[in-house]
Amino acid sequence: MEHGLRLACDGTHDISNSRIKLIAVGWLAQHVPRQSIETTFVLLGFALAPSENHVAVRLLLDSLDAHVREHLGDGLRKASVAHIDGGPALVKAFVDFFGQDFQLVRSLEHVKRNIREQGVKKLTQSSWWTSTKRWVSKSAFIRNTARDHVQVATVGAVN
């Protein structure tokens, strides 16, 4: 285990019409069943809670840690990194449990989903977008102005 154990945690949106959240924590196990590395989520436990809040996540981590310590001396603290969705509840619970220096990684699927769902909207609201639109407008305007000046000079020369 050169890089240590890796955890993953995520909460569902509403399950059924109950509005209850299912929050799951597990190990990420890498294996090579074919010609490429695959990762399997090995469930350690889950909690059902009215919302994905840091108290529920912290209680789940504490409970799982006590159980894992029965089989693995360091418990969950044996993990070197956790892949989470980046939501404030998960971040707060993991930092409270593991400490400020514990490595948290935002899952790639959540990053891609945010870019798909919010990227264009956030991009158009950013100062980069404003600067780019201004630059494009100015560039287009300068080009048109230069062309218009050339035409006016040509027309003036003909008269």
Check: CB of residue 103 under 8 Å from CB of residue 83: no
Q: Does residue 120 sit within a domain?
A: no
| Pair 77, 141 in one domain | no
Residues 77 and 96 in one domain: yes
Is residue 15 located within the same domain as residue 91? yes
pLDDT of residue 1: 39
Structurally, the chain folds into a number of domains equal to 2
Q: Do 101 and 141 reside in the same domain of the chain? A: no
Same domain flag for 103 and 130? no
- Token pair 């959240």: residue: 21
Output the domain CATH number for residue 70.
3.30.420
The helix (run of H) or strand (run of E) holding residue 84 is strand 79-84
Residues 59 and 83 in one domain: yes
Residue 134: domain span: 126-158
Is residue 141 within 8 Å of 135, Cβ to Cβ? no
As a whole number of angstroms, the distance between CA 159 and CA 151 comes to 13
Residue 64 falls within a domain, yes or no?
A: yes
Q: Are residues 30 and 93 in the same domain?
A: yes
Asked whether residue 121 is assigned to any structural domain, the reply reads no
23 and 45 in one domain?
Answer: yes
Do residues 95 and 130 both lie within one domain? no
Q: What is the pLDDT of residues 94-150, one digit of tens each?
A: 999 999 999 998 877 767 777 677 766 666 666 766 766 665 555 444 333 343 443
Least Cα distance to 83 among 1, 135, 8 occurs for 8
- Residue 100 shares a structural domain with residue 138: no
User: What does the pLDDT look like over 48-99, one tens digit per residue?
Assistant: 999 889 999 999 999 999 999 998 888 998 899 998 888 889 999 999 999 9
Looking at the structure, tell me whether residues 100 and 54 fall in a common domain: yes
